[in-house]
Amino acid sequence: MHIPDGYLGPYTYIAFWIIMIPIWYYAGKKLNTELKSRQVPLLALSAAFTFVIMMFNVPIPGGSTGHAVGGAIIAIVLGPWAALVTISVALVLQALMFGDGGITAIAANCFNMGVVMPFVAYYAYKLISGNSEITSSKRIIASAIAGYLSLTMAAFFTGVEFGIQPILHHTAAGVPLYMPYPLSVTIPAMVIEHVLGFGFLEALITALIFAYIRRTDTSLIYGEISEAQKNEMKRAVPT
């Protein structure tokens, strides 16, 4: 899903830089006000984790290879803004140091995997969880669906960005200047391999890590509070 240099024309990649700069700025502010000391080790681990899981290539039937992103579990545990920051850092390093994803396409890649993915995941998880207890099995299902859906949505956005290139940029004779394939090819290509393959991998990773963290300490999950805090709140209520 890492768009290389040359696939997006200037209209598209410049537009994404313009979109992403204020988003990064806001995410930084958000982290500055929300981040708690006890989350710092998990934040650091998340950045390392998303880097490594994105370089872990997995084949699917049909001759394609791809990877999970880890964006859903990070969004559920640390919140979507922290996920945006960690994934962006990993993507910038992958582009600069390892040529995975283009330099011009950094902002577009950060939008797809760092914005679309964590926000879709976080709200899908919230919506499906509803009022269920943090310990209910519904939450596991919610985390798995969040992983599946969010990776697929990120792939869909990537497909759209690819597919609009022949419309935006071509020679007078109609020769495409950048990504040559139209929307009717790029969207199915990107979506189908994630719907049938990598989405399940993301779902599995999300549910496994979610179950593990929840079993050990539910208060580590974004928006949840610890037993001690709960008791304190009960005591604070005037009777």
Instruction: Report 37-96 residues binding another protein (CB under 8 A).
Output: 37-53, 55-60, 63-67, 85-86, 89-90, 93-96
Which residues 199-228 are close enough to bind another protein by CB under 8 A? 209, 212-213, 216-217, 220
Measured distance CA(50)–CA(27) in Å, rounded? 18
Which residues 149-178 are close enough to bind another protein by CB under 8 A? 158, 162, 169, 171, 175-178
Closer of 61 and 238 to another protein (Cβ): 61
Q: Which residue type occupies 119?
A: F
Interface segment toward another protein; rule CB under 8 A; list 1-9, 18-26, 114-122, 131-139: 1-9
How many positions of this chain bind another protein (CB under 8 A)? 75
Closer of 57 and 131 to another protein (Cβ): 57
Contact letters for another protein, residues 113-132 (x by CB under 8 A): --------------------
How would DSSP label each residue in 124-184? Answer: HHHHHHTT--TTSHHHHHHHHHHHHHHHHHHHHHHHHHHHTHHHHSB-TT--BSS--S-HH
Closer of 60 and 141 to another protein (Cβ): 60
| Residue selected from 14, 15, 35, 160 as contacting another protein according to rule CB under 8 A | 35
The two three-digit tokens of residue 172, written as one number: 């007078």
Q: Is 142 among the residues that bind another protein (CB under 8 A)?
A: no
Q: What is the DSSP letter of 114?
A: I
Helix (H, G, I), strand (E, B) or coil at 8: coil
Query: Cβ distance 68 to 56 under 8 Å?
Result: yes
Instruction: Please give the C-alpha separations between residue 33 and each of 55, 123, 127, 223, in angstroms, as whole numbers.
Output: 31, 21, 25, 14
Closer of 128 and 168 to another protein (Cβ): 168
Closer of 3 and 75 to another protein (Cβ): 3
- Ramachandran quadrant class, 99 (left: phi over 0; alpha: psi -120 to 50; beta: rest): left
Closer of 103 and 127 to another protein (Cβ): 103
Measured distance CA(158)–CA(161) in Å, rounded? 5
Q: Which residues contact 204 (CB under 8 A, 6 or more apart)?
A: 144, 147
Closer of 62 and 238 to another protein (Cβ): 62
Min dist CB 178 to another protein, Å, is 5
Q: Is 25 among the residues that bind another protein (CB under 8 A)?
A: no
Min dist CB 141 to another protein, Å, is 22
Give the distance, in angstroms, between the CA of residue 190 and the centroid of all CA atoms in the same chain. Answer: 15
| Residue selected from 11, 25, 26, 98 as contacting another protein according to rule CB under 8 A | 98
Q: Is 9 among the residues that bind another protein (CB under 8 A)?
A: yes
